[in-house]
Amino acid sequence: MNKRRIGLALIISSAIIGIIAIGFEGLPEITIMPLLAISGIGFGTGIVLLNYKAKHSKRDKSKFKRTNTKTWDT
C-alpha cells in the first residue's frame, strides 16, 4: 500500500472511531477522552500521509527553486 491509501484509511477509521466515541452514551467518561485522542492523532496522521506525495514527489523536485541564493547589496 502506498502512503495515500494508508492516509485515507486512517482518516476513515479515525472518523468512525470518533463517531462511535461521541455517539454511544453508555460509555463511561473515562473511556471517551482516550478514544477521541486516538481518533485525533489518527486523523492528523492521515492528513499528513495523504499530502505527503504532493510535497515529496521525485518528479516535482526540479520545479522547486532555492530561496536563499539571492545576494543583497549593502
Of residues 48, 46, 55, the one with CA closest to residue 8: 46
Domain residue ranges of the chain, discontinuous segments joined by +? 3-55
Give the CA distances from residue 54 to residues 7, 45, 57, 60, 61, in Å, rounded to whole numbers and listed in that order: 13, 15, 6, 8, 11
What's the gap between Cα 17 and its chain centre? 16
* Residue 58: predicted pLDDT: 58
pLDDT bin (cut points 50, 70, 90) of residue 67 is low
| Predicted model pTM | 0.63
pLDDT bin (cut points 50, 70, 90) of residue 74 is low
As a whole number, mean pLDDT of residues 38-66 equals: 73
| pLDDT tens string 7-34 | 889 999 999 988 988 888 888 888 888 8
